[in-house]
Structures are given as structure tokens and as C-alpha cells.
Amino acid sequence: MRRILNHISGDRPIWAIATLLAIFSFLPVYSSSSNLAYLYGNGNTLGYIFKHLVHLFLGFSIMYGAHKIPYNYYKGISMLMIPVIIVLLAYTIFQPVMSDSMTNTSRWIKIPVLGFTFQPSTLASSILLIYIARYLAKIKDDVVTFSKTILPLWVPVFIVVALIFPANFSTAAILFVLVLIICFLGGYPIKYLSLIIASGFLLLTLFVLTVKAYPELMPNRVDTWTNRIENFINSENTESNYQIEKAKIAIATGGIKGLGPGKSIQKNFLPQSSSDFIYAIIIEEFGLIGGLFLVILYLWFLFRVVIISNKSESIFGSLLAISMGLPIVFQAFINMSVSVELMPVTGQTLPLISSGGTSIWMTCLSIGIILSVSKNYELENEIIDQNNPLEILKETI
């Protein structure tokens, strides 16, 4: 154990939280995958749990590699990756449909050599937030004018969001909100942010009106968004709200202690029980205690991210830690809110808990970058301690 700990650095509580979430995830994923194995497989759930294990192993490998890279290097990486993610997102939208059975194929890129699919929007979100943290740190001491920030800041933001938006409205909306929050925390003038918000609503209105006038451009997409919102508002429409109703039944059945691991009933009826609605299955099997356990872990994670951000000696380090940590907690609470019907269905997974390779890998990448920021702070403290006369006297003695 000591050998393993000697090879990792950075904030130990962050490592502990990520490990706890990953270990806990095996129980609900294994339980909820039984329905998928019955419907689409040969009844063997071991394949699903092994796949989840591989995803987590690759994710923690990414986390380890990312935390070894000095966080300042991510400034250049983000600038180089912005054109790459724009090309990937454009290709994702205009690629041919992969199969008739797959939904939302315009969200994914299939990699035949490796045998898996990849969702570029999650990578694009991380890269864009790093890029924004870099730019805000760069102009921190400058006099900010709206005209000077349009090209280097807002043009990449609107291009990336616009490319994600047609196929994945919820991800695009969440990313846009996160961009505004990071800009606000980075000291970007509020009066300019108001103009960006107004521009966003204007572009959204024009897009919806265009699609309504020419439905063949984006068939069924706007209707899907409006139906979800209408179903959320009109909760009496149980036929259209099938997923939410099953999730609520699962939560009500769980009670305080839950039915026990693997004893969920609603996993047999709830679509996406291993991803989008896994929180409902967790409460059904582990009760309110299990649900609150996850809430505490994510809040603890946010607390550690804020501490790392405050302790960082550079503005970029502070903004980078918040930019990588806030989306994870944001996504977690959105997923939980959907299960308890506080929000419309969004399709957001529960970080490090839900099955799915891309989500796990990008979450681990973000955590690795946060650990890189915290590692740098620890190195700075070691240098200070080494220059401390008392520490030098100790070493001499």
C-alpha cells in the first residue's frame, strides 16, 4: 500500500473520494445491468461489470497521467486542442447514421480499431473550460473591454456550444452556464456577461424558430426538448413521464435503509437504469442512507476543490481547479435532481458511478488536472519549508 501511495501525489482526500465512488459504483452497475443482460445479452451480467471495470481502470490511468503533468502545461494543450475539438464536433454532427437501433448517433464517434464509441462533447467541455481559465488568468490585470474579448474568448465558446447544441441540448446548456459562472468567478465584467446571456437567448430563439419553420433540418430534436419540458411541467401525464414515474417508485420503495444490494425491482422496468437513472436504483437498494452518502461525497469533493483553488499561488491554478471540479458536482446534482423530479430529463450521468466509458474518462481527466494543481501547491510548500531556517537546522542536526 505504501508503494502505491509513494507514486501518487496531490490532494489525498480527492484520491480517496474518487476511489470510494469508483468502488461503490460496482454494486449499482452490477445490479442494474441484469436487465440489460436479459434484454440485449445472454443473461450474463459479468460482461457488463467487466466492461465497467475496464472503463474505471482506463479512467484512473488517465487520472494518474494527468496529475503527473504540471498544470501550467494545460494552457498550451487547451490552445492546441480547441481546433481539434471543433473538427471532431463538426464531424460528429455530419457523420452518417451508424445504425438504426442506436439513438442520438450524432453524439458519438465510433472508433472501429479500438471497438468502442466516444462522445466528443464531453472532451470539448473540458478543453473549453481550461481554455477559458487560461484566457481569464491572462487578462486578469488588464482593462477588459467587450470588443477585445469577442474573438479570443466568445467566438470559441459560441462555436463549441453551437456544435454541441443540435444533438445534445442539455450538455450545451450546462456548458454555457458553466462558462458564465467561470467568467464571473474570474472577474469578467457582469455588464458584458449580461450581453452574452442576451445574445445566447436570441440565438436560441432564432434556432428554434428556424427548426420549426424547416423541420427537415433537425427532425424531432426540438420536439424532443419541448416534450421533456412539457412532461416535466405536466406531471399528471404519466404515459409520457414513464421514466420519472418509475424512478419515483424506486425512491419511494427504498425508504430509509433500502431493499438491499441487488434487490431493486424497478431496474427491470426503468430504462437507462445503469446510467441516467442509476441514482434512483441506488436509493431503492441502499435507501436514503445510500443517497445521502453520495451527496456527502460530492459535497466533500467540492469542498476540497475550493480549498485547492484558494491555496493555489497562481490565478490560472485557482480558475483551473474550479473549472474542472465544478462541472463534476454540477452534473452529479443535475442527475440526482432528475431522478427526484426537480428537473426535466437531461441524459446526464452520475460521475464515476454510472456506466459509460467517455463520462468516466473525462471525469477522471478533470480530477487528474485538479490533483496536478494541488500537487504544485504541495511542492511550493516543500520549497518554503526547505528555506525555513528551522528546517535547515533540523537537517543539519
pLDDT in tens, 289-323: 999 999 999 999 999 999 999 998 899 999 999 99
* 192 compared with 386, residue with greater pLDDT: 192
**Of residues 35 and 125, more confidently modeled:** 125
pLDDT of residue 397 exceeding 70, the answer is no
Neighbours of 112 (CB within 10 A): 6
Determine which of 73-82, 244-253, 278-287 has the lowest per-residue pLDDT on average: 244-253
The single-letter DSSP state of residue 342 is: S
Dist. CA 175–CA 191, nearest whole Å: 20
Answer for the pair 167, 217: CB distance below 8 angstroms, yes or no. Answer: no
- Distance of alpha carbon 211 from alpha carbon 44, whole angstroms: 43
User: What is the structure's pLDDT at 309?
Assistant: 93
* pLDDT, position 394: 36
What is the number of H-type helices and E-type strands within the chain? 15, 2
Q: Name which of 249, 248, 379 is nearest 317 in CA terms.
A: 379
Residue 382 has pLDDT above 80, yes or no: no
> Is the predicted pLDDT of residue 13 greater than 80, yes or no?
yes
In this model, does residue 59 exceed pLDDT 80?
yes
Cα radius of gyration (the chain): 22
Say which residue, 6 or 119, is predicted with more confidence. Answer: 119
Q: pLDDT-based confidence at 63, cuts 50/70/90?
A: very high
DSSP string over 228-272: HHHHHH-TT-TTTTHHHHHHHHHHHHHTTT-S-TT--SGGGT-TT
Q: How many domains does the chain have?
A: 1
Are 73 and 316 within 8 A, CB to CB? no
Paired with 110 in beta bridges are 117
What's the distance, CA 182 to chain centroid?
Answer: 15
Range of the structural domain that residue 252 is part of = 2-396
pLDDT of residue 5 exceeding 70, the answer is no
CA–CA separation, 241 vs 196, rounded Å? 34
pLDDT in tens, 164-212: 888 788 889 999 999 999 999 998 999 999 999 999 899 888 887 777 7
Task: Answer whether 273's CB lies under 8 Å from 244's CB.
Answer: no
If one counts every other C-beta atom within 10 angstroms of the C-beta of residue 315, the result is 16
Q: What are phi and psi of 30, to 5 degrees?
A: -65, -40
Q: What is the mean pLDDT of the chain?
A: 82
Average pLDDT over residues 230-259: 75
DSSP reduced 3-state for 312 = coil
**Res 126 pLDDT > 60:** yes
Mean pLDDT of 143-167: 90
Residue with the three cell numbers 480517496 = 16
**Cα(169)–Cα(336) distance, rounded to whole angstroms?**
18
Angle (CA) 303-358-289 rounded to 5° is 45
Q: How far is CA 192 from CA 141, 143, 258, in A?
A: 17, 13, 49
- How many Cα atoms sit within 13 Å of 17 on the Cβ side? 28
End-to-end, the C-alpha distance of the chain in Å comes to 31
**pLDDT category of residue 67 using cuts at 50, 70 and 90:** very high
* Per-residue model confidence (pLDDT) at position 43: 60
H-helix or E-strand spanning residue 109: strand 109-111
217-241 pLDDT, tens digit each: 665 565 565 666 666 666 555 544 7
pLDDT at 50 over 90: no
* Helical ranges in the chain per DSSP H: 2-7, 12-40, 46-68, 73-94, 120-138, 146-149, 155-164, 169-185, 190-213, 221-233, 242-254, 278-311, 315-339, 357-387, 389-396
Residue at 228: amino acid letter: R
For residues 129-144, average pLDDT = 91
Residue 258 CB-half CA count within 13 A: 21
How far is residue 9's CA from residue 220's CA, in Å, rounded to a whole number?
A: 48
